[in-house]
């Protein structure tokens, strides 16, 4: 597995680069990848079928000029920004038969994430369908989503380590569909930061996913594909 610690310049580039990695892997021009990235500025990402009218605090987003984008994977709406480490995995179905089914694939991946956190002293647990939470408080530190290709899947998630949690309440409404373990807890009682650094998390996850070879720049195929995706895929959401 190749390690790519690559944060790009714009929200659209960061969102679409994950799609590029999945597309190229399915085309036989890439393979398994563990990518890390983090945005220096705040922006909102809607899931593939998320409804902005239900999820967003429009007044605050418009007032603060927060960009809103939509990704191609499922899952809920999230706020990105400093202190939120993103990880993306491109995984082969052939090499990992455990990921053939959606729910089992979340358990397969996130059990490894939980173990990597435990290896650096953070007690956490996988909570279905696709969350990682601190124990025993069951406070969420990671939300996850997937897009599934023919031969590979894209699994990507967030890991909060030094995030301004008040911003979540500022820009996002309470979601309509919540996991049972959340109950009716508002954002600030439900979401938490990890008690470790981003570098510690990266090192632990690199080890557990056996990402040995590191690349810090896009290769030629990735650059060409990203340029095409930026010109053909409209990921920016206009708020009316």
Residue 238 within any structural domain of the chain: no
Provide the domain count of the chain.
1
What CATH number did the domain enclosing 220 receive?
A: 3.30.930.10
C-beta of residue 52 within 8 angstroms of C-beta of residue 237: yes
Residue 194 within any structural domain of the chain: yes
Residue 237 within any structural domain of the chain: no
* pTM as predicted: 0.94
Backbone angles phi, psi at 229, to 5 degrees: -60, -40
Task: Quickly count helices (H) and strands (E) in the chain.
Answer: 8, 11
Residue 119 within any structural domain of the chain: yes
Residue 117 within any structural domain of the chain: yes
Q: Tell me the mean pLDDT in the region 168-177.
A: 93
* 240 pLDDT higher than 80: no
* 193 pLDDT higher than 90: yes
**Domain range holding 182?**
2-232
Per-residue pLDDT reduced to its tens digit, 135-156: 999 999 999 999 999 999 999 9
Residue 239 within any structural domain of the chain: no
* DSSP letter for each residue of 125-189: EEETTTEEEETTTTEEEEEEEEEE-SSEEEEEEEEESS--THHHHHHBPPPSS--GGGTT--HHH
């Amino acid at each position: 597995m190749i390690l790519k610690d690559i944060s790009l310049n714009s929200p659209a580039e960061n969102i679409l680069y994950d799609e590029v990695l999945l597309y190229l892997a399915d085309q036989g021009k890439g393979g398994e990848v563990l990518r890390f990235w983090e945005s220096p500025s705040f922006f909102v990402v809607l899931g593939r079928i998320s409804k902005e009218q239900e999820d967003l605090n429009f007044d605050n987003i418009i007032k603060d000029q927060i960009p809103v984008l939509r990704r191609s994977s499922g899952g809920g709406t999230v706020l990105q920004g400093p202190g939120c480490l993103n990880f993306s995995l491109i995984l082969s179905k052939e090499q990992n038969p455990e990921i053939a089914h959606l729910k089992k694939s979340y358990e397969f991946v996130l059990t490894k994430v939980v173990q990597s956190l435990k290896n650096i002293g953070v007690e956490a647990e996988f909570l279905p369908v696709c969350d990682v939470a601190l124990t025993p408080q069951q406070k969420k530190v990671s939300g996850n989503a997937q897009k599934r290709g023919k031969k590979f899947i894209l699994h990507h998630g967030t890991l909060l380590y030094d995030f301004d949690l008040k911003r979540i309440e500022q820009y996002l409404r309470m979601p309509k569909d919540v996991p049972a373990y959340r109950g009716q807890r508002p954002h600030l009682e439900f979401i938490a930061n990890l008690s470790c650094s981003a570098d510690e998390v990266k090192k632990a996850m690199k080890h557990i996913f056996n990402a040995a070879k590191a690349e810090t720049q896009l290769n030629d195929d990735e650059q060409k594909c990203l340029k095409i995706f930026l010109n053909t895929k409209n990921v920016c959401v206009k708020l009316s």
